[in-house]
Amino acid sequence: MSGDERVPGGADRSLVARVRKLLDKAAATSNVHEADAFSRKAAELVARHRIDPDALLDPADDDLGLREVPLGRGPYVRARLALLMAVAEEHDARVVFSATPTGTIAYVAGYRSDLDVVEVMYHSLHTQAASRMARERRATGAATLAHRRAFLFGFADQVGKLLEQARTTARVEAGPTVDGAGIALARRERGERVEGYLGDRFPRLRSARTPRRADLGGWVAGSNAAAGADLGRTRLAGRRSLGRG
């Protein structure tokens, strides 16, 4: 295969184009189920072919935007939200949510290049967590539900810690030539712009009630599972690319 058929990171151009089209379709449709299906398919392709999400970035289209992520219904909604927020925070994006007749919708604000990475990574990690959760069982149905809910909260919490650690490690390994203070300032300014954009789009935000206390055993199990999750490689800028190696 000739060099011009691949993009930086070794990804095949046709695969990258396919993922971009799926993400564009997810952003364009008003049907939350279609958006979720397109996003999940994009995440599946990225994970299967180990595409670096940096290859999905289009520098010419990096303005601020808003992305809808369906969270569904039921007892796991707030835990899914916690996972989405853990990923978004480490990509300088901000999240709010709203309950609708068809289920809870999360709205992720950030730069469009970051939103693509956040969406793909969230779906990949949620799929990994769901696969592990399915193996967790307790004596009764109610106990199993509580345990699995706590599992996802613990998984989300550990994912956030690991992503933050990865960002810090990448900067340390980059050596003294990196202006750590400058990077921190740029990130803070970037976050402030995102928060301002979010405030303009949602001027009447309210704080949500704190989720009820989680089962400790489930939390620990989820945290341990996240330690072995595929979080991807690290870059100096702090974005993550799915797939090891």
Nearest to 90 by CA among 156, 22, 19: 156
Half-sphere exposure of 17 (CA within 13 A, CB side): 5
Q: Angle 32-49/13-28 helices, nearest 10 degrees?
A: 160
Contact 218, 147 (CB under 8 A): yes
pLDDT tens, the chain, 245 aa long = 333 444 444 456 777 778 778 877 777 776 767 777 887 787 777 777 766 655 665 555 568 999 999 999 999 999 999 999 999 998 889 999 999 999 999 999 999 888 988 998 999 999 999 999 999 999 999 999 999 999 999 999 999 999 988 877 766 665 665 556 666 777 788 888 999 999 898 888 887 777 777 789 999 999 999 999 988 543 323 333 333 22
| pTM score of the predicted model | 0.71
Contact 222, 155 (CB under 8 A): yes
Helix (H) and strand (E) counts for the chain?
A: 7, 7
